[in-house]
Amino acid sequence: MDTLNIAILGCGTVGGGVAQIISEINNDLTARANKKIVLKRIVELDPQKASDRFNLPLDLFCGSGKELTNEEANRFVQEIITAEDIDLVVETIGGKSDFVYNLCLDILNSGKHLVTANKALLAERGEKIFEAAESKNVKIGFEAAVCGAIPIIKTIKESFTGDKVLSVSGIMNGTSNYILSQMQNEKLEFETALKMAQESGYAEADPSLDINGGDAGHKLILLIKLAFGIDISKEDLSINGIENITKEDIDFASEIDAKIKLICYAKKINGDIYATVRPMLVKNSNFLSEVSGATNAVRINNKYSGIHILVGKGAGSTETAMSIVSDIIFIARYGDKIQNLSAKQQRKFADAREFVFPYLITFHTGNIPGTTGFIATAIGKQEINIETVSHNRHTGEKAMFSVATMPCTLGQIENAIEEIKKEKPGMLLSEPKIMPILY
């Protein structure tokens, strides 16, 4: 029986989970791969900690288990890159630094397969990496990079090959979904919910990438490359986070039987791509509204087979590691025959102003009779049909209400708001908030 020799770079939450699974069910993996699956060595700065946490023998770690300096670690990494006896490298260091970027290029250029959970790197600096894999005829597994345990990459790449993807959407960041769920269920303001999420381990000390939509954006970029074969850079993607969502927004959502979710959304319309990451009001009739806490969900609409939804754990140690180990088995089984991701096609993305959705617009105004009528009229003048106007929240001299529209473009709404500002300076006490409604 052939052997597949593996090295793991970085033995933290995910890398350690990979080592653990490979150790615990090695016989199963070997039978499934029809190749002996051998974890040869691990490079990790603090081997003792990783060994204790994941129950791994110390002699698996480069340096015989002693703590490594960065220089020592680098030397071991270089040894692995040039090693004859390593077939596949698991990169679980993370980040898009030049160090990791060059490391991944070197791994591939040395003729080794690469399996990684590194969404930032592949989404933002993936082009040359996929090219290197292609030119060396080695494979890149990145199932773990998009929604942790959910096998969305292989599902699109191997199970939907008899179809055409029309749209991809979903809840792809567990931290922000956890925060929004807490705001919803416990009637909290954003800051309080964020602090609670940090205290209970659902958000990191620096939660920026999770709450500003950046992390979800990386995942959507990879799915757009995969589903539509189209290369998109982060700058082309319209991204909004959840930092500005308030208790009132959630309240307005409830009023129209919806929940606020950070939604990744990409749709192909007549060859154009509409793609965005932003908070949306998901109607309770839509399955995605049921996805609460740190769970992730991806919704695919296919030409022939209609709507598919995949729900699962978006993060976690063995959860994400499972996707990496499955990639390893897939490469062991099919090696050469696997088609790497190729998204060469460049495409102008539709401007966010052109996105057609029903929208909810929230207005802060003075408590002055005639305001609702004036605003509703301005919206109507832009050929936007109004679905419903919310109950008005009066507090002293201020008022707040929301307008749900029928499908229209964001541009139409922005034009209406410009008109209101021009005709009645001072009527709007702050910039109206505009969120798409997802049925």
Contacts to a second copy by CB under 8 A: 17, 21, 25, 28-29, 32-34, 143, 148-151, 154-155, 158-164, 287, 290, 302, 304-313, 316, 318-319, 321-330, 333-334, 337, 339
Per-residue exposure over 175-189, b if at least 16 CB sit within 10 Å of its own CB, e if not: bbbbbbbbbbeeebe
CA distance to 57, 128, 146, per residue, from 324 (Å): 21, 21, 11
Shortest Cβ 374–a second copy spacing (Å): 41
Give the tokens for residue 209. 């990438």
Please say which residue, 153 or 378, places its beta carbon nearer to a second copy. 153
Please say which residue, 132 or 328, places its beta carbon nearer to a second copy. 328
Q: At what angle do helices 13-24 and 317-334 cross, to 10 degrees?
A: 60
Please say which residue, 25 or 356, places its beta carbon nearer to a second copy. 25
Per-residue exposure over 59-79, b if at least 16 CB sit within 10 Å of its own CB, e if not: ebbbbebeebeeeebeebbee
Shortest Cβ 386–a second copy spacing (Å): 29
Shortest Cβ 40–a second copy spacing (Å): 18
The three-class DSSP label of residue 39 is strand
Shortest Cβ 412–a second copy spacing (Å): 34
With contact defined as beta carbons under 8 Å apart, do 33 and 67 qualify? no
| CB within 8 Å of 89: residues ≥ 6 apart | 6, 7, 8, 9, 80, 81, 107, 112, 113, 114, 115
Shortest Cβ 293–a second copy spacing (Å): 12
Residues 270, 274, 275, 280, CA torsion sign: negative
Residues 211, 212, 213, 214, CA torsion sign: negative
Q: Which amino acid is at 426?
A: G
Please say which residue, 337 or 348, places its beta carbon nearer to a second copy. 337
- DSSP-derived pairing of the beta strands 356-357 and 408-409: antiparallel
CA distance to 147, 236, 311, 406, per residue, from 298 (Å): 8, 21, 7, 25
Backbone angles phi, psi at 20, to 5 degrees: -60, -50
Please say which residue, 230 or 410, places its beta carbon nearer to a second copy. 230
The three-class DSSP label of residue 112 is coil
Shortest Cβ 289–a second copy spacing (Å): 9
Please say which residue, 30 or 382, places its beta carbon nearer to a second copy. 30
Q: Which residues are catalytic?
A: 219
